[in-house]
Amino acid sequence: MIFDHYLAVCNWSSDFNLVTTKINQTMVWKRIPNLKLVFYNESFLLVIATIVSTLVKVDLNTLNVERVKSVQVCIKIDLEQPVVSKI
């Protein structure tokens, strides 16, 4: 993390070209509203996140059950795939 932002790093390639390189992945915070408190644990959220994509991090307020109106997880998404709108 740099200044509270996640930085994704990948292997350098000698044929890297800033002009033609496409960004095909990004990390986003996904909010899951109205989840029952019994599901506020990291292992369950990992299962839910893997349905959509790859889990990067669970919000600290979520793990501490300090914000009960919604769960927040950071996931890595593939920008070349369709967005999963419902689980």
The answer to whether 59 and 4 have CB atoms below 8 angstroms apart is no
How does pLDDT run across 23-61, given as a tens digit for each residue?
888 888 888 888 888 877 788 888 887 877 888 888 887
pLDDT (0 to 100) of residue 19: 87
Q: Is residue 84 part of a domain?
A: no
Beta bridge partners of 57: 74
- Decide if pLDDT at 87 tops 70: no
Whole-model pTM: value is: 0.69
Residue 17 included in any domain: no
Is 58 among the domain residues?
yes
Residue 53: DSSP 8-state: S
pLDDT higher than threshold 80 for residue 85? no
pLDDT (0 to 100) of residue 61:
79
Q: Count the domains in the chain.
A: 1
Structural domain that includes position 47: 25-78
Count CB-CB contacts under 10 A for residue 49. Answer: 22
Q: Residue 35: inside a domain, yes or no?
A: yes
